[in-house]
Amino acid sequence: MAAANRMRLKRRSLVVQRLTLGVLIGACFASVRQTQAQDSAVDYVNQGMKWDKKGEYDQAIAQYDQAIRLDPAYALAYKNRGLAWYEKQQYDRAIADYDQAIRFDPNYALAYNSRGIAWDEKQDYDRAVADYDQAIRLDPNDARPYYNRGTAWQNKGEYDKAIADYDQAIKLAPSAAAYTNRGFAWSNKKQYDRAVADYDQAIRLDPTVAAYNSLAWLQATCPDARFRDGQKAFENASQAYQLSGGTMVGAIDTLAAAYAENGDFEQARRWQAKAIELSTNNKEKEEYRSRLRLYEQGKPYRQKP
């Protein structure tokens, strides 16, 4: 009887071993399948990034969709898809994807930074600042959220806070964009000498359309006559126009202001009319029309102090 019990125990032990082995083998196969799915998800994300670089955002989104289907907790795929939605100006969809990226990776500084940019586009500057705060807390050595938070503060009219953030962005990674935006903040504080110095430094670092255009605008329209220079305004506005390929409406508007500062109101009217024609923003069009009326009266435009 004891021998029979031992036989049953042995058989039961073999059954347990077989079951355990089966579970282990199944787990191994599941792990392999999961790894394969994750590897495939990475491949889809890489393909999506290639489409992103080409500006083919629908194709990129399709690749990120596949990555998320294979790995539903893939934070990078959500973040990248959010960037593609952002480029398509579908900011709510972008924010929803950034939400998911942050849900699966609460320490994802770039996802906070990207979501802040989307809130900025929706003119929800308080939420933008909150997201930049988080990005900076998570990665205090990244210049981007400082720069972006500076832009949000500037949009809120808080120029001292904007300048402090641009200072930090420049300290971490000097860029023409940070100098240009800081120059604009100085101009709004009527510290035009500092604005000119920042625009000049931006041009030395990288002669961008924005830097040339901002400097030309100040030289053509500054309420303080000491900083106006019609000839330099025309030269810098022409540079901005050429660098933009003649497509940037703001550069055309600045070129018109430069002509007006030089007393050539016929050309000022011509270029201002072109800016009005190309503008797609109703508020902007009205501003351009108000300047055109000045040029028709033979008067240059001056920024309001």
SS (H, E, C) the chain: CHHHHHHHHHHHHHHHHHHHHHHHHHHHHHHHHHHHHHHHHHHHHHHHHHHHHCCCHHHHHHHHHHHHHHCCCCHHHHHHHHHHHHHCCCHHHHHHHHHHHHHHCCCCHHHHHHHHHHHHHCCCHHHHHHHHHHHHHHCCCCHHHHHHHHHHHHHCCCHHHHHHHHHHHHHHCCCHHHHHHHHHHHHHCCCHHHHHHHHHHHHHHCCCHHHHHHHHHHHHHCCCHHHCCHHHHHHHHHHHHHHCCCCCHHHHHHHHHHHHHCCCHHHHHHHHHHHHHHCCCHHHHHHHHHHHHHHHCCCCCCCCC
Domain assignment of residue 14, yes or no: no
Q: What is the pTM of this model?
A: 0.84
Q: What pLDDT band is residue 37 in, cutting at 50, 70 and 90?
A: low
Q: Which of 206, 226, 245 is the last residue of a domain?
A: 206
Domain CATH for 251: 1.25.40
Please give the residue range of the domain that contains residue 66.
33-106
Domain CATH for 94: 1.25.40.10
Domain assignment of residue 2, yes or no: no
pLDDT single digits (tens) 214-234: 999 999 999 999 999 999 999
Position 304 scores a pLDDT of 82
Domain assignment of residue 123, yes or no: no
pLDDT single digits (tens) 150-209: 999 999 999 999 999 999 999 999 999 999 999 999 999 999 999 999 999 999 999 999
Residues 222 and 191 in one domain: no
Count of the separate structural domains present in the chain: 3
Q: Which of 89, 106, 123 is the last residue of a domain?
A: 106
Residues 240 and 294 in one domain: yes
Residues 144 and 96 in one domain: no
